[in-house]
Structure 1
């Protein structure tokens, strides 16, 4: 067995630039367009493929989280596909058994973290480029242009999903935790305005699930979009989660920012993490499910 390529869940631009020619490595740009809502219920999103075509890391391909990397039958956006469908979509992007994936984006890292979580949930080794496209560009590395991401298909090269269902949780489990019928701590990764209900929301109602703790994903990054130094990151997380019961169930509006917080907790060694995929988009659809605002 060959040694693992990835050093951990996070890599920097220098590390990546030195290994772009490694045949085991697949680099995926997960950038997605998600404009700020103009009014409550204003959910608009779009593929980031056009931006990828204009400039991207050489050899990378665009992973469309609005397209075949989401479940079109789900009642909410960005739903994770079934393991077999996810593996098939990733195989079309060049991911095979034995591949290791680095995900990046130009949108603050949350999209890359979402793809990283999805990859790990079917046991594909994956990491996120710390600082994303901005770090790559600032590092002065090569930039490619064009939209040709054709992948040679071979019937002998497959991607075999090995699901890890414990990484996801659903509506019924979250309802049970909310009612105190099963253990767990609900943690909201939205910005403060989304948590307290003071900001306009994409979803049908504002606020957070009662009893939730607030740990905004973007608050765990520095001004350049890189994760905070380990000691500072640990202090921020500990201030919120000290004494929190297990498992930690992360949610946000659509399961995206929550993945960024999941990456931060993973960097700190925490393993008892599950992501509520439907998040507030699903939760808010039924008026009988409680939401709390602080304004």
Structure 2
């Protein structure tokens, strides 16, 4: 995918052209000292049965093959909140900023996130960065497209230590995240919003095993599978096709759009797609179905 397919205005005063960059753009700027490249790959095998939740760091995969100069951002470790009752929970802004500082991100940095797992991990990291006002973009197609274009790859640990000078000051955006009480208020009709599930259709209708305690979707939700917004190479669909696919689900919906999935990962991919299309009324339910399904009193709808 080229920038021409998703023309977006440059971020104000930014090196980045928008929330999505292609491999040629990144290759031309790998040596720019303002740019920090982070691999957000994590491991999340498909469940073999209900409740089969297995996840792990992508650090070893990064060490085997990565974009030169990049570092691994561990969404299962220091970039998650260990005290939360669900996996991949976003840390507090202060804790997130501290973890990013250890990866070399500073107030004057701009970040390109990528992964080797279909783009959803990079989108998750992009949303986390965006939520504390760090200029960030996702590499369209990730490592797969980078390698297919014949770009260089590296292995082993970083060749140079992360930058130590400077600080990173988080500036949280007020509506990036939605919490459980907000979802309950939407269902009661006390808050506006359209719930949108970014899981595959089989996860939405409950026909496939789930990592969580119960199958199905939150009542009243619409289905917009996050991976259905990508082409076979893992790039976002051309703008017209992306708009048509999203518009078929979200035309004339109440604002804001509240995205969720199983653990707030695929939902971030859908959030990036909506952002590319110019929507600004998007929020992400961090706990998603892992948190929602944990209490049997919370309703879920199955259609299998």
TM bin, normalised by shorter chain, reads: over 0.9
Distance 1:127 1:291 in 2: 34
Give the number of equivalent residue pairs. 293
The structure 1 residue matched to 2:277, chosen from 238, 249, 268, is: 268
Structure 1 segments (4+ residues) deviating >4 Å: none
Please list the CA deviations of residues 7-64 of structure 1 after superposition, one character each: whole Å capped at 9, or x if unmatched. Answer: 0000000000000000000000000000010110010000000010011000000000
SS, match of residue 175 in structure 2: helix
Distance 1:91 1:44 in 2: 28
| 2:120 equivalent in structure 1 | 110
TM-score computed with the length of structure 2 as normaliser? 0.95
The structure 1 residue matched to 2:153, chosen from 143, 150, 155, is: 143
| 1:45 equivalent in structure 2 | 55
Q: CA deviation at 1:69?
A: 0.1
**Contact kept? 1:92, 1:151, Cα under 8 Å:** no
TM-score computed with the length of structure 1 as normaliser? 0.98
Distance 1:142 1:148 in 2: 15
Please list the CA deviations of residues 225-282 of structure 1 after superposition, one character each: whole Å capped at 9, or x if unmatched. Answer: 0000000000000000011000000000000000000000000000000000000000
Confirm or deny that 1:187 pairs with 2:196: yes
**Contact kept? 1:247, 1:273, Cα under 8 Å:** yes
| 1:168 equivalent in structure 2 | 177
The structure 2 residue matched to 1:241, chosen from 247, 250, 260, is: 250
Structure 2: runs of 5 or more not aligned: 1-11
Instruction: Give the RMSD, CA atoms, in angstroms.
Output: 1.1
The structure 1 residue matched to 2:138, chosen from 112, 128, 138, is: 128
**Contact kept? 1:106, 1:132, Cα under 8 Å:** yes
| 1:6 equivalent in structure 2 | 16
Confirm or deny that 1:221 pairs with 2:230: yes
SS, match of residue 79 in structure 1: coil
Distance 1:149 1:52 in 2: 14
Q: CA deviation at 1:4?
A: 1.2
Distance 1:282 1:152 in 2: 35
Does 141-150 or 210-219 show the bigger shift? 141-150
Distance 2:206 2:147 in 1: 36
Distance 1:172 1:255 in 2: 16
**Contact kept? 2:103, 2:162, Cα under 8 Å:** no
SS, match of residue 144 in structure 2: helix
Distance 1:129 1:227 in 2: 10
Change (3 A) 1:170 1:149: farther
Structure 1: runs of 5 or more not aligned: none
| 1:209 equivalent in structure 2 | 218
SS, match of residue 165 in structure 1: coil
**Contact kept? 1:109, 1:225, Cα under 8 Å:** yes
**Contact kept? 2:106, 2:168, Cα under 8 Å:** yes
